[in-house]
Amino acid sequence: MCGIFGFWDLRAETPQGTLARITKAMSDSLAHRGPDGDGVWTDPSAGIALGHRRLAIIDLSETGRQPMASASGRYHLTYNGEIYNFRELRAELEAQGAVFRGTSDSEVLLAAVDQWGLQATIDRLVGMFAFALWDSWDRRLALVRDRLGIKPLYFGRVGSSIVFASELRAFAAHPAWDPAVDRQALSGLMRVGYVPAPLSIFRGIGQLRPGHVAMVGADGLIDQRCYWDVRRVALDAAGSGLPAPDTEEVEALLSDAVACRMVADRPVGAFLSGGIDSSAVVALMQRASPQPVRTFTIGFADIDYDESAHARRVAHHLGTDHAELTVDEATALAVVPRLPDLFDEPFADASQIPTFLVAEMARREVVVTLSGDGGDEVFAGYNRHRMAARLGWALRRLPRAVRRAVASALAWPSPDRWDNMAALLPAGTRPRQAGDKLHKLARLLSVDDRAGLYPSLAVQWPLADAPVVGVADDPAMLFAEDESGLSDDAARMQLRDMLTYLPGDILTKVDRATMAVGLEARVPLLDHRVVELAWRLPLADRLGEGTTKLTLRRILHRHVPRELVERPKSGFAVPIHDWLRGPLRDWAEDLLSEQALAGDGVFNVPPIRRLWAEHLSGQANRQYALWPVLMYQAWHRRWMGGVAGSTPRSAAG
């Protein structure tokens, strides 16, 4: 796990010293991604410069150092990620005559491209990766991103150069960098809490989509092609006619996916929340390990958000070497002013705060951690999947007037009022965030066609308002992927999560939070072989028996008693809504003042101010609409030359 970066001066006019100096500055900006070393390779005759920040995991010696040249000398590589089947590929290559200097997966990747070509190599890879490959014979640069989008890769044109990097901050080192905010990307951020691919927050810079290769020629033209598409996987599985996998087959493949991700030359652990996904990963890890697995969780002093007891019970049952940290409000709030640095592109999923804190904790003891991320997308675990499965019939059969009447009744009490009513229920039966869930149900019942199902639940900003000035704002366009071949509403929603929310939100959060502290996160539930197998499961084996993720639950219950893990889904939440009315109020008011919002002319100020007033009054919980605005404003002050923002009083200590 590392950071990659570089550029190609298409005019080949940059002197050797300047190439090295710019690349070194890019390297320094990404030092957090690779604290164990850096490397730069340049070819002034071609104008190419490749750079690498190293977090050493496999082959800690100098033979694992990058950028790395192939044995033939044709290819140069800078690579971020892990190839989990590299030993099998190496054995195959050695049988064909390849000779290796070290034991790294990077060297195997280069030898494979030398022997089989780029496309045939990518097709064989099991892993997470983003890499740049320079072909010195054909003068071409290939940029490649893994199938699910676990590792990030940004690229674009800056002056006469094609630039690329793991994070946007590296581009500021290029002398031709002249950043401008992309308003379409900003509108996407407001709607869903992240910048949707292929956009980035900067105009002219994009994200390479998951499962894609971008080939750059000497003329500067960029040809992007898809080599693996989860949409195609889902459609093929639906019409394959193959027998559905049974629980044993799924568990066997999951066990392999977990075991190969435990291979490292540095200490390995796991995040454990006590939920279905992380508990399943840890259970399979512990079964494969001759010694106790190190597990990590954080708890919160606020008992309404503390799930550490669940993780503790699972850890005790499995016999892991468990560590937990209880976080008070001041500790969590202290992360808020750091968010623009941790996420150098504005990002607004508030679970970024606890994710960073647990990563920071784990890094004190391990360098690699496994997580359960992706389980909800792969095995259908979100409440919206179950909601679509249960209510799809209503959208097709109930008259529009009836649905809208029910929706109006549900939306009439504010979310806070619903929460207050839910608080009257016995402690063990209170649903968390009942008001938000009922308002989502109201939006779902209000849609007029199936295409509106997903946006009605995924869009955070009120659909009636356009938050960004000068943008043809159509929230549904954020999810305009064609899944018309899937007949089931829940499956369509699950696919859209895998295409958008998974790489845009979940994987972005995990990558930035862990890389900020030099920790490698591995996600076995997103092994592409597991994804392909899971799509062959009948919907009844994903959403069946009144629950979600049925097959994954069946596997987990073989290792952990049902009563230790079965409870209402809650997520990795923090009380942002209360903080914005309390310790974060002055900080937020500074960023949401009319003067601050009108500063660069991008925001439609009146609706933002209205939502802020509604939130402060307690009339409604507007945290999901306001947090993206706050994250953008804080980011803009940090990265676009604005005045430094105020610091939350609790964070200032």
- The residues that are catalytic are 2
Alpha-carbon span 223 to 162, nearest angstrom: 13
What residues form DSSP beta bridges with 214? 143, 224
Alpha-carbon span 181 to 399, nearest angstrom: 44
If you compute the radius of gyration of the chain from its CA atoms, what whole number of angstroms results? 24
Alpha-carbon span 277 to 565, nearest angstrom: 10
Strand, coil or helix: 566: coil
Q: Are strands 2-9 and 212-216 parallel, antiparallel or unpaired?
A: unpaired
Q: Is the peptide bond before 198 cis (omega within 30 degrees of 0)?
A: yes
Alpha-carbon span 483 to 575, nearest angstrom: 35
DSSP H/E element including 6: strand 2-9
Residues 6+ apart with CB under 8 A from 322: 272, 294, 295, 296, 297, 311, 312, 315, 316
Alpha-carbon span 293 to 285, nearest angstrom: 7
CB 132 within 8 A of CB 164: yes
**If phi over 0 gives left and psi between -120 and 50 gives alpha, with beta otherwise, what is residue 168?**
alpha
Taking residue 548's Cβ as centre, other Cβ atoms within 10 Å add up to: 23
Alpha-carbon span 474 to 459, nearest angstrom: 11
HEC profile of 298-319: EEECCHHHCCHHHHHHHHHHHC
HEC profile of 412-473: CCCHHHHHHHHCCCCHHHCCCCHHHHHHHHHHHHHCCCHHHHHHHHHCCCCCCCCCECCCCC
Q: What are phi and psi of 136, to 5 degrees?
A: -75, -20
Alpha-carbon span 592 to 578, nearest angstrom: 17
| CA 161 vs CA 9, 75, 166, 171, 179: distances in Å | 4, 20, 17, 11, 15
